[in-house]
Amino acid sequence: MKILVTGGAGFIGSHVVDRLLADGHRVAIVDNLSSGRRANVSPAATLHVGDIRSPQLGSIVAAERPDAVVHTAAQAAVARSVADPAFDAGVNVVGTANVLEAARRAGVRRIVYTSTGGAAYGDTDVLPTPEDHPARATSPYGVSKVAAERYLECWTGLSGGTTLALRLANVYGPRQNPHGEAGVIAIFCHRLLAGEPCLVYGDGDQTRDYVFVEDVADAIARALSRHAATGIANIGTGLETTVNELYRRLAKLAGVGAASRNAPAREGEQRRSVLDATRAKTILGWTPGTVLDDGLARTLAWFKRNAERR
């Protein structure tokens, strides 16, 4: 297939591109390089430097004529969404609407969208949380990603194509920026290797579901060929890990004996977040293939190899 990946120079998107190329697909990328990096892009893929909000997006998609679109481009920082919700909505809602319209005009038949798990559901009493739980987003980021899911539903009716939104748990792995959107694992890896103290906000007993980026790419690759898989599916491990435990594991791998430092809790932060991915197993045949300790070791090794770039 010919597949267009938005945000394909970014953390998740570049791993998706690598997997799709390995599967024998032809891949084109649209990325404005605001957070993505040229170094992440395989020479086997075609890179169009452009913004998903741009009127020129339509001509790019029309020229490429992809069979499917994987939409990973996003404003992904919760803190920025709180500070500038209009910018967040501009990228995640207006940008998504632009992608969908360009795809419709080009005759695209399949779209796979990377949405958010924890930020969509908010704090819940049902853990692990399934897809039928109400979305109670507590940040503009969560709201904008859920709103984009509604646009996908509308696009299906207008175009006759099919869509699947994958609500991702906390994704980690090689190439994640320890600054910018900054997942905690990337931050800890960067600071441990630099000999800098790691901050834990609050008591550190808040939990997250950490899923390895290559497992996410696997889910997306499976979703592209399964047009009957539609709606929403969670992508996570179903396992909770506290921030304190995460630090202990990474510090041990890095050979660092120093304890983390505590900082005041961040307002509005979820206490617990873990996803039920049973539906992904049913409709995609997907289960996570990377246990946390192996994923952490691979991630830390990548940061060590690439320390000179940071």
Mind listing the pLDDT tens digit for each residue in 134-144?
999 989 999 99
Domain carrying residue 196:
184-206+240-272+300-309
The candidate with the shortest Cα–Cα distance to 62, out of 103, 94, 29, is: 103
Same domain, 110 and 17: yes
Cα(55)–Cα(34) distance, rounded to whole angstroms? 18
Cα(154)–Cα(151) distance, rounded to whole angstroms? 5
Q: What SS3 class is residue 233?
A: strand
DSSP state of 307: G
Q: What SS3 class is residue 130?
A: coil
Residue identified by tokens 């390895």 is 212
Same domain, 59 and 95: yes
Cα(310)–Cα(306) distance, rounded to whole angstroms? 7
Tokens of 148: 């984009």
Same domain, 134 and 252: no
In a domain, 111, yes or no: yes
Same domain, 104 and 63: yes
Distances (CA, A) of 6 to 25, 111, 183, 264, 295: 15, 11, 20, 36, 25
Same domain, 257 and 283: no
Same domain, 259 and 280: no
Residue 139 — left, alpha, or beta (φ > 0 → left; ψ -120 to 50 → alpha)?
beta
Query: Which sequence positions are flagged as catalytic?
Result: 141
Cα(18)–Cα(40) distance, rounded to whole angstroms? 9
Same domain, 75 and 108: yes
Same domain, 141 and 248: no
Q: How many CB atoms lie within 10 A of CB 259?
A: 13
Same domain, 130 and 166: yes
In a domain, 129, yes or no: yes
Q: Where residue 179 falls among pLDDT bands split at 50, 70, 90?
A: confident
Q: Where residue 181 falls among pLDDT bands split at 50, 70, 90?
A: low
> Does 180 score more than 90 pLDDT?
no
Give residue 123's Cα distance to chain centre.
Answer: 19
DSSP state of 94: I
268 compared with 285, residue with greater pLDDT? 285
- C-beta separation of 97 from 149 below 8 A: no
Same domain, 188 and 130: no
Q: Residue 307's pLDDT is what?
A: 80
DSSP state of 296: H
- DSSP bridge pairs for 3: 27, 68
Q: Where residue 269 falls among pLDDT bands split at 50, 70, 90?
A: confident
Q: Residue 270's pLDDT is what?
A: 87
> Does 53 score more than 80 pLDDT?
yes
> Does 268 score more than 90 pLDDT?
no
Q: What is the mean pLDDT of residues 232-246?
A: 98
Cα(265)–Cα(274) distance, rounded to whole angstroms? 20
In the chain, DSSP finds a helix count (H) and a strand count (E) of 12, 13
Q: Residue 182's pLDDT is what?
A: 65
**Long-range contacts of residues 131-138, Cβ cutoff 8 Å, at least 24 apart:** 131/167, 131/231, 131/232, 131/233, 131/234, 131/276, 131/279, 138/268, 138/270
Q: What SS3 class is residue 24?
A: coil
CATH code at position 249: 3.90.25.10
Q: Residue 310's pLDDT is what?
A: 45
Instruction: Return the minimum-mean-pLDDT range out of 28-32, 180-184, 234-238, 247-251.
Output: 180-184
Residue identified by tokens 């419709």 is 104
In a domain, 179, yes or no: no
Same domain, 265 and 280: no
Handedness of CA 198, 137, 53, 169 (dihedral sign): positive
SS3 letters for 31-90? ECCCCCCHHHCCCCCEEEECCCCCCCHHHHHHHHCCCEEEECCCCCCHHHHHHCHHHHHH
In a domain, 294, yes or no: no
In a domain, 75, yes or no: yes
Share of the chain above pLDDT 70, in %: 98
Q: What is the mean pLDDT of the chain?
A: 96
In a domain, 267, yes or no: yes
Q: What is the mean pLDDT of residues 81-86?
A: 95
Same domain, 193 and 136: no
pLDDT in tens, 4-15: 999 999 999 999
Structurally, how many domains does the chain consist of?
2
- C-beta separation of 281 from 219 below 8 A: no
